[in-house]
Structure 1
Amino acid sequence: MIKNTITSTKAKLTQVRTFSVDFSQEKVLRSRVRLNNGAEMPQIGLGTYSVKKPEQIQWALKYGYRHFDSGFFYGNEAMIGQELKKAEKELWIPRAAVFMATKIPPKDQGYEKTKAIIEKSLKSLSDLETIDLVLLTFPSTPGLDPKDPKNIENRHDSWKAMEEFVISGKVRSIGLANFKPRHIEKLLKISWIKPVLNQIETHPLYQEHDTIALCQQNDIAIEAYSPLAQYKKELIENTTITKIAQSHGLDVSRTILAYLTQKGFIVIPRSTKEEHIASNIQIGDVRLSEDDMKEIDALSQGNQMKVCWDSKDVI
């Protein structure tokens, strides 16, 4: 019975939503990634951690963003939900045109806690009937030793709850964040539904090559968070990237985002400033050469610069 339900659910997910767009935004909006369940998502989204003001969401919608990455624990989902409702009336942007992602925080791992937090997100996002994507944020639970096997049990129980939300139709896709190859391999052995993506820190000075390779082998998309490394000068002032950016008449940020999207990654740059929100999405016409790509690829070999949390010690 469960397998039949999952098959039916997967069939529904292959139906790609369509919508009309302003011609000036068409190139930005048509850059989409097809996930392993047949669903599609915009390749560029806005990371909303620290996004607290309604006008920041309004700017993003105005400049063409149709993908928002959030989490109930960010404390801004109610505001985002209200702005999306407002956009339907004032900007004629139908809710179905916006891809909304949320996350299960580490403290809410476990079957019952995961069910409760997803319901909270559905309610918080202006009573959404369906969330496009829910991610399991981290492979361990706060308060447990990273090597405690209970971490495995908790994240697998969370995954079972997430699968049930897909089967019920309340969630379209489910994925991971900060999972290393061993975490993914263990999860694939117990899952009914394969993760559609793994959201990991990825930028020219930090790439988890083994994680990326395993995900690609299993048709799991890579979503790059902190693609600009929190604007650290080691990246933004890197001479190789600066040279390539100047040769294309671009700023460094757009060059980095073009590099990552050309590699097929989904990117969710985070910004609260209007000028950055506007420029980060305008990479539709940018095309780096093969030599450019190789030069930037070489930057993540050897010593790497990680700026966010790490799950390397988690069992």
Structure 2
Amino acid sequence: MQSLTMNDGHTIPVLGYGVFQMTSAEVAAHLPEAIAAGYRHIDTANAYFNEVAVGRVVASSPVAREDLFITSKLFPQSYPYAQCGKDIDATLERLGTDYVDLLLLHQPYGEYVSAWRAMEEAVEAGKVRSIGLSNFSAAKVHEILDVARIVPAVLQVEAHPYWNQHALKAALADTGIVFEAWYPLGHGDRTLLAEPALTGPAARYGKTAAQVVLRWHLQEGNVTFPKTLNPQHMADNLDIFDFTLTGEEVAAINALPQRPYYQVPDEPPAFVTTVMDYSRQA
């Protein structure tokens, strides 16, 4: 597995296994398959309500904890400074670990500036190794940068060939922030996977269009979490390190029309304000 070095000196595997929208039972069934296939980066969140299940799999895994990279995320209910430190401890308890490798602020709403101070303190206490943001615009990232003692290491956003995030990357180019992509395959969009810019290289290299997309992400410098419950697809998604897209092929992919599948609103949508009580995980 290849890794990238973040701006804080820690490394992060370029390909991970995300457990978004997976039940605890699905995590128990499929996360061990992913680890057995070779995945070492696990991406969860408070709001996924499956941290307990992730922790159980990690505890029973033959792979040592120090050889796994675990990411979790805090939702805005945790952001007030007085609450944030408590909820970081609760995250560690649910995961059954002394530290997480990466902790993100999941949504750009509420008291995220005060939360950042608590995140920095968690790094200094050894509870968290790296900290970052998710779904933040450039302007909101700069609000954090204006007060940060520790620069965000990661920004997780929607990214795929139909939404390559080049403008956002340019706006943050001097920060050294690593970009992580959710919806890395365009939310399973068959129109995207049928684009000649993807099917052409797929035919030339004996790969699938999805593998070409993941290879494009790799060459873009993105970390990805292609979601699947299928062990064959898990293996296929890892099989992207034996070919390289040419400059012309990358340019053709970058020339695809741009549109996101989801617009992050300025004000918090209803689901953000209603997510709570993570302790009810089974």
| 1:219 matched to 2:167 | no
Q: Secondary structure of the residue that 2:191 maps to in structure 1?
A: helix
1:209 aligns with 2:166: yes
Deviation, 1:312, is 5.6
Shift of 1:234: 2.2
* AA in 2 matched with 1:132: D
- Residue pair 2:135, 2:157 contacting (<8 A) in 1 also: yes
CA–CA distance in structure 2, aligned partners of residues 34 and 311 of structure 1: 31
- Residues of 2 paired with 1:176 and 1:80: CA distance? 21
1:158-198 deviations in Å (ceiling 9; x for gaps):
11111110011100010011111111112111111100011
Unaligned runs of 5+ in 2: 269-282
Which residue is 1:134 aligned to?
Answer: 103
Q: Does 1:37 align with 2:8?
A: yes
Q: Please report how far the alpha carbon of residue 207 of structure 1 lies from its aligned counterpart in structure 2 after TM superposition.
A: 2.1
Assess if the C-alpha contact under 8 Å between 1:67 and 1:98 holds in 2.
yes
Letter in 2 for 1:162: M
Structure-2-length-normalised TM-score: 0.89
SS in 1 for 2:180: strand
1:298 to partner: Cα distance: 0.7
SS of equivalent residue, structure 2 residue 118: helix
Q: Is residue 285 of structure 1 aligned with residue 210 of structure 2?
A: no
Q: CA deviation at 1:255?
A: 0.5
Structure 2 residue 18 is the aligned partner of structure 1 residue 64: no
Percent identity of equivalent pairs: 29
Deviations 1:280-307, CA, capped at 9 Å, x for gaps: 122111211111111001115xxx2312
Q: Give the corresponding residue for 2:279.
A: none
Code of the aligned partner of 2:264? D
CA distance in 2, matches of 1:308, 1:120: 30
- Residues 1:49 and 2:20 are matched in the alignment: yes
What TM-score comes out, normalization by structure 1 length?
Answer: 0.80
Q: CA deviation at 1:309?
A: 4.5
Shift of 1:108: 2.6
**Is the deviation greater in 270-279 or in 71-80?**
270-279
2:262 corresponding residue in structure 1: 308
Amino acid at match of 1:66: R
Query: In structure 1, how many angstroms separate the alpha carbons of the residues matched to 2:52 and 2:10?
Result: 25
Corresponding residue for residue 53 of structure 2: 79
Say whether residues 1:198 and 2:155 are aligned partners: yes
Question: C-alpha distance in 2, partners of 1:82/1:308?
Answer: 32
Coordinate RMSD, CA, aligned: 1.5
Query: Structure 1: which 5+ residue stretches go unaligned?
Result: 1-28, 142-153
* Matched length: 265
